[in-house]
Each structure stands twice: as C-alpha cells, then as structure tokens.
Amino acid sequence: MGFWGPPPGSWTQARGILWMRASMAPRRGRYVGRSALPSSLRLLGTLATVVPTWWLASAADADPCQCLKWSEVYASGKAVCGEFAEMRIQVRPRVNLTLQEIYGLSQYPGAMGYYKEKCEQWLAHMDEPYCISVDGHAYSGWLHDSTPFDAAAWCYVSRECKNLNGGQPISDKTWFDGKAVKRHVSAKLCKSGEDRLLREASVEELRVLVRRLRAAHPDRTHMVSLGYVSLEAYKALSSEFSWAAIRPLWKSQDIGRFPGPLADAVQRKEPMIVYTDPAAHDHYKLVVGHDIYSLIEEEETRFFGLWKTGKLTCPDTVHCLRKIERDEL
C-alpha cells in the first residue's frame, strides 16, 4: 500500500518528483537503451504499435466494464505499470503518467524499490482482476485533504466501458523515439458488490493468492510477500500507534481507548494492519474484528533458536500468518 514511500507532502517526496521530471528532459548525447529500461517498458517497445487481435476480439465478446487481469494488461502491452495510479503514492496527486515519467520513477532511488516491488514483483504476475487502492494512505485515513477518488479502488477495463465511475480513459502515449503508442484501455473506479476489491478479500484468500503467485515463479529470487500484499490490500493504523501502545489496550479489550480508526475497524470487522516496528517491514499485527494475527518474516532456527539456517520458515508466503490467542498477548 505504499508505506515504504516518504511521508505525505514531505520534502523527500517533492524532491523526488522534481528529480523525476529533470531526468526526463532530453540531454545531449544521452540515449536510453533498451537494456536500461524496466522490463515492462522493454516489452512495450516490442508491442508499441500493435495491440494483439486476440485481445480485441475477446474484449468485444466480454463485458467491457469487467476488470482485466493485471498480468494480461501489462504482458500484452495495453498499458505499462504506472500509467494510471499504480505509483500514485509517489507522485500524488498525479495519475495517467507518461512513459517518460514512468521511466524516471523507475530509476529514481526514492521510488525505485517501490516500483520494483509493486510492478515487477507483484502486479506483473497478478492473474486476478482484483481492484487495488488508488492511494493507500488516503484509504487508511492518513491524509486530511483526501477525496473519495483518493480512497477508491480501481482496475483497468476496456476502452469501450462507459461507466468508469469517476475513472478516466488512459491517454495515448509517445515512445522515446517519438513513435505513437495507442491505448485501448481505461481506468475504472470499482464498486463493492459489483467488482472484486482486494481490500474485501479475507487474509486467507490473500495467503492463497500469494502462495499461488510464488509457486508459479519458483525461479524468481524476489517475489511478492504476504506482508506486502496485506499492506496493499488493507487499511493500516498510523505508525504513531505501534503495537507496543496497542497491546495493553487489546489485552483489556478497552475499545473505548482504541485510536478511532482501529475502533471503527474492529466494530466493522474490517482488517487493519498495526505496525510492530514502523522502521521495519518484517513483522506486523493484523486485526480482524476481535481476532488478531501475526505476520512475521522469520528464518528457521536450530539448537534451541541459537542458530539461524538462512531459510525462511514460510517460504511460500515469506511472512508467516498465525492467529494469536488472548493468553499469548
């Protein structure tokens, strides 16, 4: 959900946007070679002027407002990861980025890791038509000036869809050499009850999804984790309220003293992430109603825990998911 990025409105974020724009300006003697491009952009270079006829035919037969699978959108060259709101948290309030802007983001140190994790390790392999958050910070209630658009969920649909619910068509693009790249998709804002929203999936459904994605790509050293997908899917309590502060309140179930967003989530039985250590991303707590789970990335140990083997305890999801009983708190 983008919690690896700089705080909303920070100078680091503003400086990153300025660097990205400067990096896109033409420079004498500079050539952006294919090998320097992210894999999604290299693929687009091959498909820049051609949209597969099989996709046009299948799209015509289907409901044009049905969400498309992320992996198919990118693999077919219909869009590049970042063209609508995939990188919104890094360039707020921008959407509908140019290919040059996406390239700049993928190379900027402050956004490179987020781009790789979200686009290359997750969405490029996501073969489910789930709707994802426009802005995870806004969905979690971190932004005081956010709009319903910011907190919405979205997906790519056929350009033939007329009910975008506040979304917009993806504009045609220009390749680095000036070649036009036609677009045949739009971004639709999703509706609960009509579309599959990732935020409405159960934690067990997320675990199954991550297991399947990782199993399908056993040769990839870096692949999506359950912790990351949970952050992208669910609301997160502000990092000023870490688990150390919430734990005694949870033990006593004094909901009246819970931070407002957490109390609301408990009453609505909406999943919410609570940071164990805001500076680390290997251990979280996940609250679902009155149940609480541990999401932890850990290594197998030997000799009574004194020696770590270097192997993950839960290699199929990276983060192990375990329900915590009240007497364990």
Identify the band that residue 308 occupies on the pLDDT scale cut at 50, 70 and 90.
low
Percent of the chain with pLDDT over 70: 78
Predicted pLDDT of residue 307? 47
Question: Model pTM?
Answer: 0.80
Residue 47: is its pLDDT beyond 70?
Answer: no
Residues 193 and 315 in one domain: no
Q: Do residues 174 and 260 share a domain?
A: no
219 belongs to a structural domain: no
Whether residue 192 sits in one domain with residue 238: no
Q: Is the pLDDT of residue 164 over 70?
A: yes
Confidence at residue 11, expressed as pLDDT on a 0 to 100 scale: 32
Long-range contacts of 253-259 (CB under 8 A, 24+ apart): 253/290
Averaged pLDDT score across all residues of the chain: 82
Whether 158 maps to a domain, the answer reads: yes
Q: Are residues 40 and 175 in the same domain?
A: yes
Which H or E run includes 48?
Answer: none
The answer to whether position 207 is within a domain reads: no
Strand 168-169 and strand 185-189: the pairing is antiparallel
Q: Are residues 146 and 232 in the same domain?
A: no
Q: Of 200, 215, 248, which closes a domain? A: 200
Confidence (pLDDT) at 264: 95
Residue 106 lies in a domain: yes
Say if residue 172 is in the same domain as residue 250.
Answer: no
Number of residues that this document lists for the chain: 329
Same domain for 185 and 300, yes or no, is: no
- 253-269 pLDDT, tens per residue? 888 899 999 999 999 99
Write out pLDDT tens, residues 227-248.
Answer: 999 999 999 999 889 999 999 9
Q: Are residues 133 and 240 in the same domain?
A: no
- Mean pLDDT along residues 32-37: 42
- Cα torsion through 207, 241, 325, 268, rounded to 10: -70
Token representation of residue 91 = 């360039």
Q: For residue 251, give its domain range.
A: 226-328
Do 234 and 95 lie in a common domain?
A: no
Task: Please determine, for residue 62, whether its predicted confidence score (pLDDT) is greater than 60.
Answer: yes
Q: Is residue 3 included in any domain, yes or no?
A: no
Q: Evaluate whether residue 117 is within a structural domain.
A: yes
Which residue in this structure is represented by tokens 């036609």? 182
The last residue of one of the domains, among 200, 235, 256, is 200
Q: What is the pLDDT of residues 93-116, one digit of tens each?
A: 999 999 999 999 889 888 899 999
Does 29 share its domain with 161?
yes
In a domain, 6, yes or no: no
What is the rounded distance in angstroms from the CA atom of residue 198 to the CA atom of residue 229?
A: 9
Q: Are residues 142 and 271 both part of a single domain? A: no
User: How many domains does the structure of the chain reveal?
Assistant: 2
DSSP 209-261: HHHHHHHT-TT-SS---HHHHHHHHSEE--TTS-HHHHHHHHHHT-GGGS-HH
Whether 209 is in a domain gets the answer: no
